[in-house]
Amino acid sequence: GQQLNQSPQSMFIQEGEDVSMNCTSSSIFNTWLWYKQDPGEGPVLLIALYKAGELTSNGRLTAQFGITRKDSFLNISASIPSDVGIYFCAGQAGYALNFGKGTSLLVTP
Amino acid sequence: NAGVTQTPKFQVLKTGQSMTLQCAQDMNHNSMYWYRQDPGMGLRLIYYSASEGTTDKGEVPNGYNVSRLNKREFSLRLESAAPSQTSVYFCASSDDNNYGYTFGSGTRLTVV
């Protein structure tokens, strides 16, 4: 599959801080998606982006589809303890999704 | 609640044993997928099924077979388990636009 480079690999932050993570690829994608995985569960869709340049918000989460179609970022504002988990970016060019390796987020009260 | 159901949740196998992981969805989705998740590797596609009666290989299909039994069910079979197949397996489904998958809660498989 097409490789997605997701960074950072992990983050350890204090409650209330803002968080930013990003994903890049050498390939162009038609759709970018961001998922969150809680411990012991499957990933859950947070935000889907369908057009280059698109900026979309979902509560405290904001994500953008890069102009080049080869990158995307996710921001979380005013983090809270329940934001803990692994965040995955995913890009779609062919039939199935290609996933990044994930960003592990830890939030201390 | 509507969603994707996987069974079993946990399984330990001996090398060489066979088993089938079951997956069912009740969202009337045409497309279904099997991924494996390993530490530091993210999610890798094993097989997918674009519609009932069709299956295609993904990134890491070796050692696995699949069956799309009907529109609801998509099973993954390990004919002769190997320690390298120790992983967490996720089933997912999506609508025709493939805009976002719904995942099951996973099967944690250990091969000893």
Tens digit of each residue's pLDDT (9 = 90 or more) over B32-66: 999 999 988 889 999 999 999 899 999 999 999 99
Question: Is B59 near chain A, with CB under 8 Å?
Answer: yes
Spans of chain A below 70 pLDDT: 1-2
Whether residues B43 and A43 touch (CB distance < 8 A) is answered with yes
CA separation for the pair B20, A34 (Å, rounded): 30
CA separation for the pair B66, A69 (Å, rounded): 33
* Distance (Å) from the alpha carbon of A78 to chain B's nearest alpha carbon: 26
Q: Which of A5, A101, A103, A104 to mutate to test the interface with B (most CBs of B within 10 A)?
A: A101
- Of B99, B100, B105, nearest to A42 by CB-CB distance is B105
CA separation for the pair B66, B74 (Å, rounded): 7
Whether residues B44 and A96 touch (CB distance < 8 A) is answered with no
Helix (H, G, I), strand (E, B) or coil at B21: strand
Task: Find, among B108, B105, B109, the residue nearest to B4 by Cα.
Answer: B105
CA separation for the pair A90, B60 (Å, rounded): 17
Question: What is the per-residue pLDDT across A99-108, written as a single tens digit (0 to 9) for each?
Answer: 999 999 999 9
